[in-house]
Structure 1
């Protein structure tokens, strides 16, 4: 039984296109160059911020983030940044009586931006607001604390094995690996990921069917 669904943010709910494009523009490099480097560090199993460090050795990512915000060129989010399946999938889950939580590695500002979108979710929270980030076990202890359901009845959905699937499973949560974005596609067929993840999905609209196998997206208005 799945009573609560907790979802990652980047490349689960939101496209990262704007995020990386804005960083490329800020650093004065071609967007394709940064995108390619993000792919390279993904394959290498490194932190995605390493793509910025490859472009600008010695960069203080936190300081540059603050400078972007001060210049009015910081994080933004609008409806076009959401994947098309987000609202119907989350709304379907809530209609089933499932608690929906959004919790990912994001800034406090992104938390505000997500809440401003008025998503069909019972709680939206970020790692910055909790003061702990994935893959720390403490992050997933926080997830269990807000789930309002036992860990083995709580499903964590994400695209990144190291940040999402492996630590969530270690915390005792059910897990669904989403084939989306560079991490999701690169690791989707990895044997270890398939063994650890309870489910492998191609769309968030697959999740309501995990809760109720008779549910079909086409039946939703």
Structure 2
């Protein structure tokens, strides 16, 4: 593995403040909004259907007065990124994000070498083209990349299908709900926090470096 690439929402960024801003904008309790969101996730529907339920025409976070800040990073983000960077891995952050969101994360001073988003590339996960853009941008083969995300449908399974290694992070609404899906059995690696990435990398390395055959 030469590069570790991270999804953004609910992988690096705790989106609690984002959804709170949406609820406030819509004039409904946060509990109501999260209940509707959970139902959509479990029903395999796109989360943007939520905005239709709330009768919000635009999904631009700017209308909610929301901007990604340092307080939104999960507590384990900075330490694992620094650890991976020190170990010599290329670090990427990519996601299905509106214009400017990736830059907001990068501006927090994280050790990031590569970044991109669906709004910039014109292709969104789970389309294979999204993961093709990652590999092309890094100049690496698919099997030299570990993709880390909180969603089976958007992150982990599409990355695996194209030939990347992938780690499913059981975190956030999607992570907890999708962990019980039957498709979770097809996941190559599962982690409950970003610290688990080092163990994943060790396992992958152990698979690649096979012992030499015994001499007769």
TM-score calculated relative to the size of structure 1: 0.86
Partner of 2:16: 17
Distance 2:166 2:9 in 1: 17
Greater Cα shift, 122-131 or 175-184: 122-131
Partner of 1:60: 57
* 1:190 Cα deviation from its structure 2 partner: 3.2
Greater Cα shift, 97-106 or 115-124: 115-124
Local SS of the residue matching 2:92: strand
Q: 1:100 aligns with which of 63, 69, 91?
A: 91
- Is the 2:106–2:112 Cα contact (8 Å) retained in structure 1? no
Distance 1:118 1:173 in 2: 27
- Is the 1:41–1:47 Cα contact (8 Å) retained in structure 2? yes
Partner of 1:218: none
Distance 1:66 1:148 in 2: 32
* 1:110 Cα deviation from its structure 2 partner: 0.8
Deviation >3 Å, runs of 4+ = none
Distance 1:86 1:148 in 2: 25
* 1:108 Cα deviation from its structure 2 partner: 1.4
Partner of 2:143: 152
- Is the 1:179–1:201 Cα contact (8 Å) retained in structure 2? yes
Local SS of the residue matching 2:100: helix
Q: 1:203 aligns with which of 182, 193, 198?
A: 193
Unaligned runs of 5+ in 1: 214-221
* 1:124 Cα deviation from its structure 2 partner: 2.4
Partner of 1:79: 70
RMSD: 1.7
Local SS of the residue matching 2:147: strand
TM-score calculated relative to the size of structure 2: 0.88
* 1:199 Cα deviation from its structure 2 partner: 0.5
- Is the 2:7–2:149 Cα contact (8 Å) retained in structure 1? yes
